[in-house]
A and B are shown apart, each in its own frame.
Chain A
Amino acid sequence: MAVPIIELREISKAFPGVQALDRVSFEVREGEVHALLGENGAGKSTLIKILTGAHQPDSGTILLRGQPITIPDTRQGLKLGIAAIYQELSLYPDLTVAENIFMGHQPSNRFGMVDWRQMQQRARALLHELDADDLDVTRPVRGLSVGNQQRVEIAKALSHDARILIMDEPTAALTQHDVERLFEIVRRLRARGVAIIYITHRLEEVFLLADRVTVLRDGRVVGTTLEVSQTNQAELVKMMVGRTLDTLFPKDPAIPGEVVLEVRNLSYGRTTRNVSFTLRRGEIVGLAGLVGAGRSELAQVLFGITPAQSGTILVEGKEVRIRNPREAMALGIAYVPEDRKLQGLLLPMSVRENTTLAVLRQLLRYGFVDHHAESRLTQEYVDRLQIRTPSLMQQVANLSGGNQQKVVLAKWLAAKPRVLILDEPTRGIDVGAKAEIHRLMNALAHQGMAILMISSELPEVMGMSDRILVMRQGSIVAELDRQSASQEAVIAAAMGASELHLV
């Protein structure tokens, strides 16, 4: 068997309070897609950072083509042909595609000035290899779709002549169509002998794409690296969580009560057009649609972030006006936003301060924050949502994605809402935390909460919803109930039947 292009031997790395990696050994061969699985906090990110040179291991060896090496920083990592594409893309929005691709190593002419013509030619050539000829290299990155931005990132990695490409959850924010294009690119790169380390939370992708798979749990490799053909989803899930998950979507059929929220002809700009629907106590309504169909925008209208320009909102039968989030909160509406880091959390602040942020007014005694009451309340939700944190005073930035999401949920559950709007509640979090959040949603609906769930993950929409609303271009174009809904029907409505044959 060929020498692996890169090999880690017994790598360990500790941070204050955690052993992030514990004697991890791992190898990748040329022309291989090697999937790396693990719940958030299992050590995947640390492993990537060691490979790219962003972190130094405490002990252990890294071998590149059999030779021991050290990677002192990411610049050196790139020189050695190791590049990473992160979940959060790191492009400069106001620079052009070509400039982004060659950021830091622009081709220059003999006067030391940037050689624009050569830069654009080479950028075009790189994108051509990715079958992305449609991308104009002279336009700014701002406004490109996530899929196209990702292709720019990949071209950037290739411009460094990367032989080892690390992809961290590359499909997390992509539309189905872009996902397929990405798979095509990955297969192309593999055929060219690039070694690809592919990190994902979506198990089906492992079987579609990867040759081998390694599972990390609590900083250790679980068992050994497996050939994908020799394993199955159930086995991988068991390895990741250390237990078998009974069901991923534990939704019981709801017993819907009276109408809590009714919306008639709601409009805002071009993104929300004449939207009407009702939401009853105890039901979970899924809001499906393509990225950009106006689902989050609708949620923001309901929550008063961008107040409706026309239309009527009724809460428990009474007509109301919602002009800002405070008014929405007073009416018992809560919104767990799509981007937890940007819109949901105060990352440098503690679990306690984040959890009580929306209900701080209720925790005042003579105008001062009652820290005992604050801790009691936080502890209650930490226990109830099983938030894994060393203490209530832990900075939220140090928690894993799943636990961060639970903190955002805790903040809004503490406000005791009647209507809970969840925007991509399980995006980018691991299987275990995902199942916990689904169980929680189920329990909340049972207690009579009305839940509106926005999700781009069809299995989640199908599995969790009592009813499904489908949005397209700012309007609700279909309403399907649990029995009659099929994935095909949702997709057909989301894309508009006439566009369906184009895909």
Chain B
Amino acid sequence: MTSKTSSAVTFLPSRLQSMLRTQEGVLLVLLVVIVVALSLLSDRFLTVNNLLNQTRLLTETALLALPMTLIIISGGIDLSVGSMLAWSAVMLGFSWQLLGLPLPLAVLVCLLTGVVGGAINGLLIAYVRVPPLIATLATLAIYRGFSFGISQARSARGFPEEFAFWGQGQIGPFPTQFVILAALIVAAHLLLSRTGFGRWVYAIGNNELAARYSGIPVERVKFTLYTLSGLMAGLAAFIFTSRVTTTRADAATGLELDVIAAVVLGGTSIFGGSGSIIGTVLGLVIITLLRNGLLLTGVKGDATFMVIGIVLILAVLVNNLVRRR
């Protein structure tokens, strides 16, 4: 069997080649290149402090990217995550400051708001059969409307000091939210790759009809996914509020784009059926480090966006090139 190896990358050692065959491999190589390049450009980049600090900024996007990975693998999409985050955050501030609920209860309201928002998406998509793109584009607008309506464009502030623990505090050497995120990454990874539910998600993304014909409760799986996405938006809203100590109706505007970019950079097929949590995490890390590193080396914010866009396309290109043969 001597198939032609006329690929453009024959000069690479075979270990590296087989690694580049997966999107995760491409990203890992990319990550190393970025870290090396940025640490040469700025001596403040590769420091424990800076890197740990970055996880604070990454957490909210990451919390949303976890369920988004599952949703995109299932062949759907959730555009409303940014709006759900804002709505949940506003509900936190509203119920604490205006309704006078105790703070833990207000946090519960915040999480529940996310769940309700997600469940509405889930109902629309799984049972009313509105295409996910349209359903969540609509709720993106609606939930943002709720945020402005409820907050009346006022922001809640003046949270007690202990509340800052979740967004600014530390557990040992690690930022609080990093610990929470790490636990949830492991949980999401296990859910997707090891459980029956995870298998169903892939099955639905690959062939929804065949999944249905195999007795998979397609509607229930979809409903669960979007509700989960809402719950994570609620959790992200809580941590976000604790970090910035204020709740504003225009919080997290456009965040859904960052989330989707990270998931897609992580190798999840936008058409559904394939992808992994590990890929998404690598995608997130790359985007965050690029942003931070370029900032430290003095590149302006707008240029950073462009670099991230180019990296997104490059990563997919390299992967396509290697996979072709």
**CB-contact partner of A305 in B200, B206, B213, B217, under 8 A:** B213
**CB-contact partner of B207 in A305, A329, A345, under 8 A:** A345
Knowing A14-B2, A15-B3, A357-B203, say if A368 contacts B214 (CB, 8 Å): no
Measured CB to CB, the nearest residue on chain B to A343 is: B213
In the complex, how many angstroms separate the beta carbon of A368 from the nearest chain B beta carbon? Answer: 5
CB pair B215 A14 closer than 8 Å: no
- B190 adjacent to chain A (CB < 8 Å): yes
Stretch at the interface among B130-138, B191-199, B295-303: B191-199
Chain B window 201-216, contacts with chain A (Cβ cutoff 8 Å), 1 for yes, 0 for no: 0110011011111111
A333-365 with Cβ < 8 A to chain B: 335, 337, 342-349, 353, 357-358, 360-361, 363-364
Q: Which residues of A contact B211 (CB under 8 A)?
A: 346, 357
Measured CA separation A369–B217 after assembly (Å): 17
CB pair A343 B206 closer than 8 Å: no
Q: Which residues of B contact A346 (CB under 8 A)?
A: 202-203, 206-207, 210-211
Q: Which residues of B contact A425 (CB under 8 A)?
A: none
Considering only CB atoms and an 8 Å cut-off, how many residues of chain A contact the other chain? 35
**CB-contact partner of A367 in B195, B200, B203, under 8 A:** B195
CB pair A344 B194 closer than 8 Å: no
CB pair A347 B206 closer than 8 Å: yes
B57-82 with Cβ < 8 A to chain A: none
CB pair B194 A369 closer than 8 Å: yes
**CB-contact partner of B3 in A14, A324, A353, A363, under 8 A:** A14
- B33 adjacent to chain A (CB < 8 Å): no
Q: Which residues of A contact B214 (CB under 8 A)?
A: 325, 357-358, 411
Measured CB to CB, the nearest residue on chain B to A18 is: B1
CB pair B196 A360 closer than 8 Å: yes
B198-241 with Cβ < 8 A to chain A: 199-200, 202-203, 206-207, 209-217
CB pair B195 A58 closer than 8 Å: no
Measured CB to CB, the nearest residue on chain A to B2 is: A14
Measured CA separation A358–B213 after assembly (Å): 9
- A143 adjacent to chain B (CB < 8 Å): no
Q: Which residues of B contact A349 (CB under 8 A)?
A: 202-203, 206
CB pair B1 A369 closer than 8 Å: no
- B273 adjacent to chain A (CB < 8 Å): yes
CB pair B213 A326 closer than 8 Å: no
Q: Which residues of B contact A337 (CB under 8 A)?
A: 213
CB pair A343 B215 closer than 8 Å: no
CB pair B213 A325 closer than 8 Å: yes
CB pair A326 B215 closer than 8 Å: yes
Knowing A346-B207, A348-B206, say if A305 contacts B196 (CB, 8 Å): no
CB pair B210 A361 closer than 8 Å: no
Measured CA separation A335–B209 after assembly (Å): 13
CB pair B196 A325 closer than 8 Å: no
- B15 adjacent to chain A (CB < 8 Å): no
Measured CA separation A305–B199 after assembly (Å): 21
- B324 adjacent to chain A (CB < 8 Å): no
In the complex, how many angstroms separate the beta carbon of B310 from the nearest chain A beta carbon? Answer: 29
Knowing A345-B207, A347-B207, A360-B196, say if A325 contacts B274 (CB, 8 Å): no
CB pair A342 B3 closer than 8 Å: no
**CB-contact partner of A348 in B195, B215, B273, under 8 A:** B273
Knowing A348-B206, A349-B202, say if A368 contacts B212 (CB, 8 Å): no
Knowing A16-B3, A367-B196, A368-B190, say if A358 contacts B215 (CB, 8 Å): yes
A13-32 with Cβ < 8 A to chain B: 14-19
CB pair A342 B190 closer than 8 Å: no
Q: Which residues of A contact B202 (CB under 8 A)?
A: 346, 349, 353
Knowing A14-B1, A344-B213, A345-B210, say if A361 contacts B273 (CB, 8 Å): no
What 11 additional pairs, Cβ within 8 angstroms, besides A329-B215, A342-B210, A367-B195? Answer: A14-B3, A16-B3, A305-B212, A305-B213, A342-B207, A342-B209, A346-B211, A349-B206, A357-B199, A357-B203, A364-B195
